[in-house]
Every structure is written in C-alpha cells, then in structure tokens.
Homo-oligomer: A and B are copies of this chain.
Amino acid sequence: MDENGKIDTRTAKGQATRDRLLAEALRLFAIKGFEAVGTRELAAAAGTNIASIAFHFGGKEGLYGEVVRHVAATLASLYQNAFAAAQAESRAKGEEPIRRAHRVIAKLIAALAASNRSRWMSLLLQREFITPTACFDTLYEEAIRPCLEEFSQLVEATAGLAAESLDNRVLAYSLFTMASAFSRNGNFLRFTGKTGYAPQDIDAIGRAVAGFIDKGLRPSA
C-alpha cells in the first residue's frame, strides 16, 4: 500500500517475500538470537536471496527492528485483550476483583502457549529482557510497561497495596514473570518429563498458577 492508500499489485510478489522474511526472522531471531543468525540463513529460510534483506529492510538490523515492532504491537494487543476480556467477564458475573486476576493469568498463559508464533514472540521478549538491543525501548514502552501497569492496578485492587509502592511492583512483576515462564520452550517440559503441551495441560497450568496467586493476593486478615 503506497502513501495514498492504494494497493499496488506490482508489489504482490515483493510483499510476499517481505512477509516470509519477517516470519522466518521472528522464528530464527527468537530461537538463536540476533548475532547467531546469519543473513544467508535468513534468506534461505525465507526462500529468497540475501540481497532481499537489504532491499526490503535496509539490512539485518532493519529486519530485526521490523520484527521487534511487529512483536511489540502484537503482544501489546494480546495483553490488552486479555485484561479487557477478563474485566468484562468478571464484571458480567459480578465477581470480586481477585477473580479477575485469576482470569487474566489463565488467559495470558493460554494465549502465549497457544501457537508457535506467540511462543516465539514471548521468547524474543525474554531475550530482549536479558540482552537489550537498541529496540528494547520500543518493546518495553509499547508492550511491557502497559502490561506491568495493568498488573499493578490489579494488585492494588486485590491485595490493597498502593500502585507506586515497592511491594506492589514486586508482586506485579512476579505475576508478569509467571505468566511468561511457561511459554518458554523446553525447560518446564523437561522438569515435568513431558514431551509437549496438550491443550488440557495449558488449562491445568493456568488453573494452578491462577489458584496460587488467587490466594497469594488476598489481603492478610
């Protein structure tokens, strides 16, 4: 689509190559990290030539930047949807706020483990947490911070801790961490001895974590 909003059919093939590059770059960058992925590997995975990377994205860094922008936007809406849906369901059923936390955590865990794409996005995010690149600010301000602030509000509403307090932030950050932990590949599976997640496993994990925090967030008597 050009600057006038018209679709240029000439670019259909180019757009397809661009999309394949983005999809494969997300997968490879998430699994191996920015430095460990070569341009030749990216091009081969996308079924094109290395020159395409420079043509469509200006180079390897430009491609990574586009991937991060896509991840930030997708995760931001994924988080937002989870909180909004939980709020709507909880309000419709007249539940107390603590049930909303229950719902949010279960939704996030399920959403992040649902598809390979979302798992890769979560993995890329974890990677940026550990090795921030120039793109980290985008990811943090656009996706992570809003999610943390939502958790912070949730902790305030349930545990009665002021949103700006350290105690509140510790719990909010812990919830975010727990929601992300199970989407990472391999490690929890190895601990359980399983070889993969079945749909009922995802449900069970969501319920277990939700039950855990449901009790953990209740204000002390």
- A residues neighboring B (CB under 8 Å): 31-33, 35-36, 123, 126-127, 129-132, 140, 144-145, 148, 166-167, 169-174, 177-178, 181-182, 184, 186-188, 190-192, 201, 204-205, 208-209, 211-213, 215-218, 220
**Bound form: Cα–Cα A31–B131 in Å:** 7
Q: Please indicate the chain B residues that have their CB under 8 angstroms from the CB of A220 in the complex.
A: 211, 215
| Closest partner residue, chain B, to A32 (CB atom) | B131
Q: Which of B177, B205, B217 sits near A181, CB closer than 8 Å?
A: B177
- Kindly name the residue among A169, A201, A220 whose own CB sees the greatest number of chain B CB atoms within 10 A: A169
Known: A33-B131, A187-B129, A218-B215. A174 touches B167 (CB 8 A): no
In the bound complex, do residue A167 and residue B204 qualify as a contact, i.e. CB atoms below 8 Å apart? yes
- Residues of B near A192 (CB, < 8 A) are 166, 169
Give Cα distance in the complex from A218 to B140, angstroms: 34
Q: State the CA gap A26–B191 with chains docked (Å).
A: 26
Residue from the set A140, A187, A209 with the largest chain B CB neighbour count within 10 Å: A187
Q: Does the CB pair B217–A212 fall under 8 Å?
A: yes
Report the bound CA distance from A33 to B177 in whole Å.
21
- Inter-chain CA distance A191–B151, complex, in Å, is 12
State in angstroms the CA–CA spacing of A96 and B140 once bound together. Answer: 41
